[in-house]
Chain A
């Protein structure tokens, strides 16, 4: 599904990714862990096509196509979904309108008839219940005045609505209490399917108790330095990043 070879990327001339390699097959769930500043979020932004990041070397193919040739919106329509770490507000634009515009853009691209307002309302209400969001939130502005937890649940809800081929979750667990984490994890687990891959980016192991990945990778200084199964995350949790010779100042300060 996704193949990343020797990926180098920078932002504002600062090199962040330094030769990253990763293969994700259909149906697999991968977790990328690493300290702050290791390049986790950069990887997700580069895959989704944020133009603030420059790819300087390497290649990325998605279902055989050169992903780096596609514009952001084209990647989205081909099935790449990014759940944002810090979803931005769009004042005055209702969630309902935003989501319907998005769903219809995808449908149009795939030659499926667009949904009318009534049909979409019904679907959106159902899906919002899945992530424990009051359907009234559909009428509010996009992320406007949402709590941290509501924003994250909203992101997962969008993944459920759009049914992507590859869902990238950028620290979807951060800032959630344990109940909200459970709801978000249930939503992500509902996404798991043989034809869908999931790439989870996280700082902490606790998310992986709820969403058990097939593979865990450790990212440091823009490269994957160790890969393994779910047990790698537990080992990391027990021994800390220092175990792999990585300095994790932020984590050290927090813990």
Chain B
């Protein structure tokens, strides 16, 4: 007898179909993808060197190779005639010009300039890297810790569960933001310390989810039969149980990335985040405080970027939550 095809293409395809149907969530995914591409390609989008420079002396690719004869040359000036193709934003994020400070957006600087005459568009584009990078690495770190700890507690139960549950409770009671601030103030703020601190304090939510799913699955028939067939603990945990616990973990990770980006920008705002000259949105916003009464572009643009990024991740998380729901997977075909 042929089985009725309830979910054509399987569970994943059904989840994806469901997700795509949710316009807001799909829009969020598009924004997230665009941000990731921007972060990866930042030096190609905003740079003061041209992709290609053709002069009488030859053909150069200053952005990709270090040509010794063009070292320190500003190819944008008229002193270098010839054919040039520049990136869309022809400024590097650290390049400053003190004769053009705090200028509103114009054709030359599409997002204006900051207090040191640096191009804001270029700093925003390079700042994407910090937000995206910190979000991914910190959350990856705590998802890994959470999965291992939660799996141990949920799979073995008993004493292991008791010890781990207490540990989770202790970490959860930490005043997290204050703790992060203390660590960064005492040990020195840096990209690495921000990521590590968020990573080691954030895992409790994931651990609780995984623990709960494992507790529920532990007595399931297919797990008992896998064990009876001689599968080792490692195999049962990672190939049989973990895939079933992943959907809620993924949803939680998406919300986690959103809140990590918020924490990072708050820390940068207080001066404890990524240190200059590395451009970060929170830092740009923090610097803008001195000119806030007239330089609206320095406040609105980075703030809006943080807001859009957080919203996009939250929308993706929310959409995934709906899409993973087994009821909606089957019924909303």
**A and B interact physically:** no
